Structure 1
Amino acid sequence: MDKIRERLTSLRAEADAAIARAETAEDKVKKLELDVLQKEQEIASLQHKNQTLEADVDSLEAKLTEHKGAKEDEETHRSASEALTRKVDLLESELDRSEKQLKEVTDKLRQTDVKAEHFERQITRVEQERDQWEKKYEDAVDKYNKSKAELDELARAMEDI
């Protein structure tokens, strides 16, 4: 009986040790399950964060593409603006030259108008002189014809004598 008691004591000790090991194992399992649950929550959180970051990356890539397009448009507009600025400068210089030429032509036109008025006055004076000379000529022709007629009459009268 002593052996049985010893055996029972030893079995009880083994059972107590097994129970203690089982409790320790259960505590470890609970801790590990809790760790697994925390890790799963962390994984879910990280997956959500990853999805958010991927969406942000897609959004940023779209903005980058948009900004690249805007930059290209800006460069195109800048080059067009520079070309237009050069054209405006060229047109302004041509306008300055044209205005200078217009001023010169206007001055020449005024001088020509003055000369034309001078020549018109001379023509008017010369025409008046011509008209006077024509009148004098007509008067002289009339006098000549009268004198000739008188001379012819005088010659006939002398022939009749």
Structure 2
Amino acid sequence: MDKLKEKMNQLRMETEEAQVKNDELVARIKQLEQENLAKEQEIKSLSHRNTMLETQNEALETRLTELKSAADSGAANSTEIEALQRKLQLLEEEAEEADKNLRETNEKLRLTDVKAEHYERKVSTIESERDAWEKKCEEAIEKYKCAQEELDKIAQQLNDM
């Protein structure tokens, strides 16, 4: 009887531990989802910035082409062309950096998705384990009730003697 109580207490403790772990994992999933949303926003922002830089780059390339034509036809604006070339080079470097950041962010997002899936599987496993423990606990309680009824019957029979 004491062993049964001890086993039930142990099952309760394990159930409580599983619930705490489950709660922690649910909180971690929420945190990962929030981080995932932040990463998506960052990707959108970087994509928009990249588009803007590409547009600026195309405009500068067009302007550079016009200036080169003017220089070739005799207009000597070499200092302005050099300045625009430097500016173009800087914009190209910024565009490359933005592309690099976007690739890194995409990789981080992919890793975050992998981690989120991993934790979802863990949560599912823990929930299954918890359900199994709850079922075992219910079965133990049912056995305890049956044993208690038998004990009461035996006690009644002894009292009747």
State the TM-score, normalized to the length of structure 2: 0.49
Whose Rg is larger? 1
State the TM-score, normalized to the length of structure 1: 0.49
